[in-house]
Amino acid sequence: MMRRVVRQSKFRHVFGQAVRNDQCYDDIRVSRVTWDSSFCAVNPKFVAIIIEASGGGAFLVLPLQKTGRIDKAYPTVCGHTGPVLDIEWCPHNDHVIASSSEDCTVMVWQIPENGLESPLSEPVVVLEGHSKRVGIVSWHPTARNVLLSAGCDNQIIIWNVGTGEAMINLEDMHPDVIFSVSWSRNGSLLCTACKDKKVRVIDPRKKKIVAEKDKAHEGARPMRAIFLADGNIFTTGFSRMSERQLALWKTDSMDEPICVQEMDTSNGVLLPFYDPDTNIVYLCGKVHQPLIYKCFSFYLNYPLSLFSQT
């Protein structure tokens, strides 16, 4: 008699549980801009959420302990003249956050110690260099005052936030829209996913593509790529039959993936979020509207238990 083999994972019996209503953030008008983003960012002190705003772009910054119903008159960060598309907290300072917008600018903001008591419209620095809307901002994981931005002009700019100047401009590497950009663990490499269905590994200092994979996912819908702590790359995308896919790649040999797995046939883009401390990738995908997300998580303990779903 054959014994049933159970896939080993220390997270096999871990299940999520919804928090009580009084521990949620309620009555927030989340942005409805048609852009594949999480529209929020969190750090140990604050949560920031991109909201609908008339006459420009704005986002809320709430102390983590301020849960419950949020007053519509609560002060916002409101310096952009176009809708905000992406926000990210600085990993080296819990009071500094960067935002990018359809107005082709990137702005860096200093949040007061106890949060906002009045609207904040004056950024610390305005970074101008893109010719089209800017959809991605990402802080360098190890170097202070280094910020990356990627826009619909198909270029990546790495900024010195202290001086407000562009240090590195990566152009002519992407012939189409850049869907995602991810720093490696030590910040020496970049991983990008592009509309041309290629995943690229770039050395920004040398301005050189060191590895790339054509048709990492064959589907026509957007894909995402992130670096893992060991240097491998995790991607999400779609198959030729419009099934949502996950894949794992080695950066030094991207001819064939380490593993590929189909998820389901939903048309929502899976946004990956990686926790290097627990080696877990959390996947978030829109279900019907920007306020509703379906979440998955995967424990990456390869090669023994590739993509152990929790």
pLDDT tier for residue 12 given thresholds of 50, 70 and 90: low
CA distance 305 to 229: 17
- Rg for the chain, CA atoms, rounded: 20
pLDDT band for position 37 (50/70/90)?
Answer: confident
What are the percentages of helix, strand and coil residues in the chain, rounded to 5?
A: 0, 45, 55
pLDDT bucket at 116, cuts 50 / 70 / 90: very high
pLDDT at 282: 87
Cα–Cα distance measured from residue 268 to residue 244, given in angstroms and rounded to the nearest whole number: 8
Q: 13-172 adopts what CATH topology?
A: Methylamine Dehydrogenase; Chain H (2.130.10)
Delimit the CATH 2.130.10.10 region(s) of the chain.
13-172, 176-309
Q: With 50 as the cut, is the pLDDT of residue 54 above it?
A: yes
Q: What's the half-sphere exposure (Cβ side, CA atoms, 13 Å) at 278?
A: 12
In the block, which residue shows the tokens 């004056």?
122
pLDDT of 299 above 60: no
31 versus 308: the higher-pLDDT residue is: 31
**Residue 302 pLDDT > 80:** no
Tell me the C-alpha distance between 241 and 161, whole Å: 43
Dist CA 226 CA 34 (whole Å):
22
Burial class (CB in 10 A: 0-12, 13-18, 19+), 170: buried
Say if residue 305's pLDDT is above 50.
no
Q: What is the pLDDT of residues 141-156, one digit of tens each?
A: 999 999 999 999 999 9
Residue that wins the pLDDT comparison between 15 and 213 = 213
pTM: 0.88
b/e map 171-188, b = 16+ CB within 10 Å:
eebbeebbbbbbbbeebe
pLDDT, one tens digit per residue, over 218-239 is 988 899 999 999 999 999 999 9
Task: Look at 47 and 298; give whichever has higher pLDDT.
Answer: 47
The pLDDT of residue 173 is 95
User: What pLDDT is recorded for position 290?
Assistant: 41
- The count of residues in the chain is 310
pLDDT of residue 10: 64
What pLDDT shows up at residue 289?
Answer: 43
| Per-residue pLDDT tens digits for 232-270 | 999 999 999 889 999 999 998 899 999 998 888 888 888
At 18, is the pLDDT very low, low, confident or very high (cuts 50, 70, 90)? confident
Class of domain 176-309: mainly beta
Mean pLDDT of 23-39: 88
pLDDT the model gives residue 297: 55
